[in-house]
Amino acid sequence: MANEIANFGEPSVLLDSEVNMNIFDETANAWGGNQLNSYCFDMTGDLWDKLSDGFSVEAYVCPTWEGDDVPTGWCGVLGLAQNGGFLLGVSSQKWLFQASINGTWANGRGDKNLEKDKWTHLVGVWNKTAGTLAMYVDGNLTGLVTASGELTVPQVVDDTKCYIGADMKGGVPGTEPEASFQGKIAFIRLYDVAMPGAAATELYRRATATALDEIAAEKSQTSPVGIYNIMGQRVQKAQHGIFIIDGKKVLLK
């Protein structure tokens, strides 16, 4: 699924050497704050129709906050949860995926508190056929609840926005974000299919550095000498980040 992306405030994108990719940097946001930096896209009726038979949300994120204690407030990584819709984010110190089914929120949660400054892979799945909603954290199923019925669409369908790094503010459809995420977001993907658990696990493998050794092995068989990034793409020169050089994983600082 693709749609035009707009911004609220002054969101920044930078190269993160730990994951070796451009990321959305929200570290300057206040956890759960309103009207802060975020991206958004229009959620019109045709997009809701594509999600009506089941959908999945994937994200690779790194939360942070002031102090040592995990924040208790909620926030959105990808959100449009007002009088219907869905949210991938945080609630009660745990990762959360929720969707409004027949007007009632179904909630899948992580099985432990967030870890500060740790890159984490998230997948949320609503399976209409099975009548379930699932939450996966780092490839593991952490929450599975009954969610039978129809996806509840917000009443003002053609004036709603889905926010990246926040949730849409209630009572003012489509105008501004609230409940901002504090941290880094490498990517977010919204699928119009309910993926099985094996697919969620495979997405985690592909998104994380655990795939580096496999990339190195594959490249060493077909091309024993060369420099590759963590996506398996050959490059002319290694700069800052993680690379596969002559079949070996190397971190350049």
Q: What is the pLDDT of residues 133-188, one digit of tens each?
A: 999 999 999 999 999 999 998 876 556 788 899 887 765 555 678 888 999 999 99
Write the single-letter amino acid at 95. Answer: W
User: What integer best gives the mean pLDDT of the chain?
Assistant: 82
pTM: 0.80
On whether both 141 and 227 belong to a single domain, the answer is no
The CATH number assigned to the domain holding 22 equals 2.60.120.200
Q: How many CA atoms are closer than 13 Å to the CA of 253, on its beta-carbon side?
A: 0
**Tens-place pLDDT, residues 226-246:** 665 545 556 666 665 555 555
On whether both 158 and 222 belong to a single domain, the answer is no
On whether both 35 and 70 belong to a single domain, the answer is yes
Residue at 120 is within a domain: yes
Domain total for the chain?
A: 2
d(CA 225, CA 244): 10
Q: What size, in residues, is the chain?
A: 253
Least confident residue range of 32-36, 119-123, 216-220 = 216-220
**Tens-place pLDDT, residues 41-67:** 888 778 889 999 999 999 999 999 988
On whether both 201 and 155 belong to a single domain, the answer is yes
Q: 3-class DSSP state for residue 103?
A: coil
Name the residue range of residue 22's domain.
6-207
Residue at 1 is within a domain: no
On whether both 95 and 144 belong to a single domain, the answer is yes
On whether both 153 and 236 belong to a single domain, the answer is no
C-alpha distances (whole Å) from 92 to each of 30, 137, 142 are 17, 16, 15
Residue at 142 is within a domain: yes
Rg (CA), the chain: 19
On whether both 156 and 216 belong to a single domain, the answer is no
